[in-house]
Amino acid sequence: MLFKVRDYHGIPVILTKENWYKKILDPIFGHPEVKHHLSKIKKTIDRPDFVYQSVRDPRSKLFLTGFASGDFATHYLAVVVKYVKEQGKPVGYISTVMINRKLPKQSQLLWQKRQST
């Protein structure tokens, strides 16, 4: 396990070393551009800006946070979490992480961070 963090509902979410190295950082099929954003991945699970329902898998949700500055200032970090039941309790596993230019258009918005006034 690379890390375990709780999502905005308090459900544990795990990033395995196998997914990180073999799937996410894979230079051909993965998204190696996220390798320097491990702390932002944790924050995106714990304190997302948006959470959407996946259109591909009903067990999965998309967690997104915007980048405040840098090369990706107008983009979002998107973390896909698949939820399963283990010993009768829900647990999330990070399937993949990527950088998106826009918010999902076809997915249902499940949660949005309150804007401070």
pTM beyond 0.75: yes
DSSP output for 79-98: EEEEEEEETTEEEEEEEEEE
Cα(53)–Cα(62) distance, rounded to whole angstroms?
A: 6
Chain centre to alpha carbon of residue 42: 8
Give the pLDDT of residue 117: 54
Give the pLDDT of residue 68: 79
Number of Cα atoms under 13 Å in the Cβ half of residue 72: 17
Give the pLDDT of residue 75: 95
Give the pLDDT of residue 4: 98
One-letter amino acid of 53: Q
Q: Which of 27-36, 38-47, 66-75 has the lowest mean pLDDT?
A: 66-75
Give the pLDDT of residue 6: 98
Give the pLDDT of residue 114: 86
Residue 73 has pLDDT above 90, yes or no: no
Confidence of residue 91 (pLDDT cuts 50, 70, 90): very high
